Chain A
Amino acid sequence: MADIHKLDINGLRTDELLSRYIDGDLKAGALADFEEKLANDPTLRLRLERFRKHDQLLKAASRANATSVSPLVVARLEQAQKAKRPSWPRAAAGLSLAASIAVVVTVGLFGLNTDLGGNAGFQMDSKLAAALTTQGSRAEGWEAIDDTRDFRAVLTFPAANGNWCREFMVASGEEHWRGVACRNQDSWVTQVMAREVFLDQSAGYRTASAGDIDQVSRFIDAEATDVALSRSQETAVIRDGWH
């Protein structure tokens, strides 16, 4: 039986060729030479099998150790993408101010079962709740939920208490809210909201600053127990009525 511990004195050189063979780095001539060597050397073949098995183990272990990325990182990238897009159709259409004037941001942090009436000018209502219940998350584009408001679900994630939560955006005129609502029994309860008012539309849609969104991102980072759902996972949850 082959003894994999008894390699030739140029073991490292041989291991380098083995590695290059495994990684597809050997060119035609060297490849043919090495394959001939492999065919005639059972010890070398055994070592090749070992290396390949270790690679598979390493791949499995590495992937198991990194199955998700912090929602904060994902949210940061998504925010950067949105910040560049002049894509706030209804808000932009009604604005003609050319100069940079001001950005007003109001952030509200709400506990469960808090009455949101009047806070940050935002109110959870049946139409918004229906949108949260039925709309899939999207990276761009809006869905009108009534004559004055557009809605976009951003992502869905599980909270520590086991309830589903959704980050979402609502645009109305030149006002824009970003927030998180979580399921509480059969209803949606707003957890955190950031309200942004953009008076400068000369360069199209812009976020105010990282600060306002940070409030929402920090909430997600603190509450999310797992990575945001994929499209198929989210579709299944919506189909199952958020149970």
Chain B
Amino acid sequence: MLSDAQQTELMAELLGLKRFCLSLTGDAADADDLLQLTVERVLERGMPVDAHVAKWSYRVCRNIWLDELRSREVRQRYVATAVVSEGVAAESADDGFGRVELERVDAAMQTLPEEQRSALLLVAVEGRSYAEVSEILDIPLGTVMSRVARARRSLAEKLE
């Protein structure tokens, strides 16, 4: 069972988790399902009192998704799925970018291997440190550095 503080933290983390789900699945409906499963799993199984809620939740989320991929055996299907939601246009004005630019980066991101995509999203979008990403993705620190750099390099190649 989660403490009140942990549940409050989890609530505050939902949008970040949703973005992470999108980066993993590349599909809005799958992302919604994954987020719901993640919250259910965290609530059902709880977490240690001293656990970092965000890191724990991201790990649970990723593990559920990996289980799902294994069971579906359709990992490749998701790699090439490009998602551009209608919300991009509505939000783009606030960030000063045009819809076309956002669609391009979105599509380019979806062509990256999942492990690079999730590492870059956690660092560049969610502002996680390399050490935190290392814990969330359960990979060595050096691998985080390499994946983030490779992801940025690939994005640059695709966007230039």
Q: A residues near B, CB below 8 A?
A: 4-5, 11-12, 15-16, 18-20, 23, 25, 47, 50-51, 54-70, 72-74, 76-78, 80-81, 84
Within 8 A of A (CB), among B116-147: 120-121, 123-125, 129-130, 145-146
Closest to A78 in B: B11
Residues B28 and A84 in contact, CB atoms below 8 Å apart: no
Closest to B32 in A: A70
Residues B31 and A73 in contact, CB atoms below 8 Å apart: no
Residues A81 and B7 in contact, CB atoms below 8 Å apart: yes
A77 touching B149 in the complex, CB below 8 Å, given contacts A60-B95, A65-B88: no
Residues B40 and A84 in contact, CB atoms below 8 Å apart: no
> What's the nearest-Cβ distance from chain B to residue A124, in Å?
30
- Which A residues are in CB contact (< 8 Å) with B84? 65
- Which A residues are in CB contact (< 8 Å) with B123? 23
Interface size class of B (residues with CB under 8 A): 35 or more
The CA of A66 and the CA of B14, in the complex, are separated in Å by 10
Residues B14 and A25 in contact, CB atoms below 8 Å apart: no
The CA of A74 and the CA of B145, in the complex, are separated in Å by 34
A73 touching B155 in the complex, CB below 8 Å, given contacts A23-B123, A57-B105, A84-B1: no
The CA of A190 and the CA of B87, in the complex, are separated in Å by 31
Within 8 A of A (CB), among B1-47: 1-2, 4, 7-8, 10-11, 14-15, 18-19, 21-23, 28, 31-32, 35-36, 39-40, 43
Residues B152 and A60 in contact, CB atoms below 8 Å apart: no
Residues A76 and B40 in contact, CB atoms below 8 Å apart: yes
